[in-house]
């Protein structure tokens, strides 16, 4: 049995749990972050922009030796035990241990997460159409001007 890489012995969940400082649930690597709620501000995790935390969770997973294989997500929010002005946000990242990853090119990177979030926020660029003067109905081609006929003698 490989103590350094239990996944080599078919125990990928054990390796994922060992590599997560905040625990794991099956093939989900967990990352807990403390969020401070400033006095006078309302905290709503549903309206909060989690992009930086999601990208950070994916980066931390990669650095811990597991590859994200799907989008990280907010898995839970709970009050901080000793600091009532804080909450603990738990992010889950679907992962596979890097040592057994047969398709490393499919690893979800922090850059992909931030670019996807940015694409959702940026309005699509619509090409500008030149403005036409207000005219009722379709515009007909102008009648050609009569051509002067040469004189013959």
Q: Could you read off the pLDDT of 5-34 as tens digits, one per residue?
A: 766 766 788 888 888 989 899 999 999 999
Average pLDDT of the residues in 66-94: 94
Residue 39 counted as domain residue: yes
Residue 100 counted as domain residue: yes
The strand ranges marked E within 9-107 are: 24-25, 28-36, 66-68, 73-79, 86-97
pLDDT at res. 12: 85
- Tokens, residue 86: 């804080």
pLDDT at res. 126: 63
pLDDT at res. 39: 86
pLDDT at res. 16: 87
Residue 96 counted as domain residue: yes
pLDDT at res. 58: 96
pLDDT at res. 150: 64
Domain with 54 in it? 6-121
d(CA 56, CA 86): 19
Residue 138 counted as domain residue: no
Residue 78 counted as domain residue: yes
* Total domains present in the chain: 1
Average pLDDT of the residues in 74-96: 93
Residue 143 counted as domain residue: no
CA dist 34 → 7, 96, 126, 132, 142 (Å): 30, 25, 40, 56, 72
Residue 92 counted as domain residue: yes
d(CA 17, CA 27): 9
pLDDT at res. 103: 93
Residue 112 counted as domain residue: yes
């Amino acid at each position: 049995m490989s103590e350094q890489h239990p996944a080599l012995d078919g125990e990928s969940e054990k390796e994922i749990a060992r590599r997560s400082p905040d625990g794991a649930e099956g093939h989900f690597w967990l990352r807990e972050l403390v969020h401070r709620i400033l006095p006078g501000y309302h905290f709503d995790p549903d309206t909060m922009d989690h992009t930086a935390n999601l990208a950070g969770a994916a980066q931390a997973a990669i650095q811990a030796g597991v590859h994200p294989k799907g989008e990280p997500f907010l898995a839970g929010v709970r009050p901080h035990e000793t600091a009532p002005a804080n909450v603990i946000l738990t992010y889950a990242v679907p992962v596979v241990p890097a040592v057994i990853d047969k398709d490393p090119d499919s690893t979800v990177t922090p850059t992909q997460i931030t670019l996807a979030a940015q694409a959702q926020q940026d309005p699509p660029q619509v090409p500008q159409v030149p403005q036409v003067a207000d005219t009722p109905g379709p515009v007909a081609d102008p009648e050609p001007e009569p051509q002067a006929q040469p004189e013959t003698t």
